[in-house]
Amino acid sequence: MGLFDDLLHAPPCNPAGTAPLVELDRLSTAIRLRRRWQVLGAVLGPTVAVLLALALGAGPAASAEVMLARTDSNANPDRLAGRDEALCGASSVAQAAADVLHVDPAALRDRYVCVEVKENVVDVRAHGTSAADALRSATALAEAYRAVYVGQIDQLMQAQVTDLQQRRSDLQNDLAGVTQQLTTTTDPVQIQFLAARQQSLAGQSGELDARMGDLRSTAAAASAGSKVLNDARLLPHREHQTLAIAAIMGLILGWGLAWMAAATAGVVRDRPVRRRDLAVALGTPVLMDVRRAPGGYDSTAAAVELAGILASSVQPVVILQHGCAGLARSLAEDAAGRCGVAPPSVGPLHPRGAWRPITSGPARVVLVIRAGHLREQALRLAAADLEHAGMTTIGVFLVDPDPRDETFGAVGRSAAPAAVG
């Protein structure tokens, strides 16, 4: 009794004077005790990433190349490339292909891109739900791209031809007026001027006719020279590589998030996981560890220790537990059988708990607590309740402590680490 009383009433030791905001060793212990979180994150992360990659994957892809005949050989190649790729996004291309494929143009627009692979050659690449769908889409889009390109050239050439026709019509009207004047004048000077004017107007009209012919020839050459160079072909589909990358990224992200959650919980939830923290919070020493063993817990040494307490105690002994009701009951029964007394009552430990009516008079309390399963403030309140009820706490059997926890379970003094049961 002397040792327990000394440990119980000794003042807590705080050599630093003030507690740090976050103790790194305590935080690392909390993270290790939440290994299941990290394992779960490492399993769920790749699984979810692979499922998302499968669900959001673009599917098989195919491409077809389109040769574009130019109307201006002196144009800047970079400017032409930018214009060609911009044409790919025109609604007319998606609409023309969608009419052939019988699909929604808006849905089709997100499934293809155009890349200029070399000068005057654009590669139209399309994704599909299947290989056949990708090939059909690439073929329809390539043909639509060519048709829109040629149509734009025809429209531009036709606009220029229309303008030239209007100018020629004006020249013809002027020419007709000059010719009429020539038939009525007799002045040699006037006749000479009108004849020169007639010849000039006729020459300008001929030039306009020649320019219109050139424009029509250019449009025809662009139409003939712009063509789809090859049948659509499937592109290499690196699905396995994509899934592998997704799995690796999911593993890193899942484990990282689980680690961060464990670290955050270790700080925010304020649940003692080390012997020293738990002993200080309860104001009572850790008597012994109860660790896991194959098939259950190795509680033999703890039962022997508890049997000694039961045999030597004059007052009733009560066992209060948290997070390990079954283990606490078996420990009480084993200890009682070893010393030939009735098993002590076992109740839950928490503030304002139902343990208060367990005994009507003074009693000694043994606590069986699973590490990290109750907030530090709750432990302090429960210890205060026990004291106010006139119940003397003997010590704690700590279940599932961190294997690498080297802190002492004594209160107010340095002592050897608690024995392991």
Quote the crossing angle between the two packed helices 91-101 and 131-182, to the nearest 10°.
120
pLDDT band at 337 (very low <50, low <70, confident <90, very high): very high
Number of domains in the chain: 2
Give the mean model confidence (pLDDT) for residues 98-117: 84
Q: Same domain for 295 and 185?
A: no
- Residue 30: the pLDDT is 66
What b/e readout covers 291-321, taking b as 16+ CB neighbours within 10 angstroms? beeeeebebeebbebbbebbeebeebbbbbb
- pTM for this predicted structure: 0.46
Q: Same domain for 394 and 305?
A: yes
Q: Render pLDDT for 158-211 as a digit per residue (tens, 0 to 9).
A: 888 888 888 888 888 888 888 888 888 777 888 888 888 888 888 888 888 888
Is pLDDT above 70 for 296? Answer: yes
Q: Which residue has the higher pLDDT, 118 or 289?
A: 289
The mean pLDDT value of the chain amounts to 79
Q: Is residue 183 part of a domain?
A: yes
Give the mean model confidence (pLDDT) for residues 362-376: 85
Of 307, 276, 287, 314, nearest to 368 (Cα)?
A: 287
Q: Is residue 56 part of a domain?
A: no
Q: Render pLDDT for 143-158 as a digit per residue (tens, 0 to 9).
A: 998 888 888 888 888 8
Domain boundary among 182, 206, 234: 234
Q: What percent of the chain has pLDDT over 90?
A: 11
Is pLDDT above 90 for 15? Answer: no
Q: Of the given ranges (78-82, 263-267, 290-294, 314-318), which has the lowest mean pLDDT?
A: 263-267
Q: Is residue 97 part of a domain?
A: yes
Is pLDDT above 80 for 31? Answer: no
> At 348, phi and psi to the nearest 5?
-80, 150
Structural domain harbouring 147: 61-234
Q: Same domain for 193 and 342?
A: no
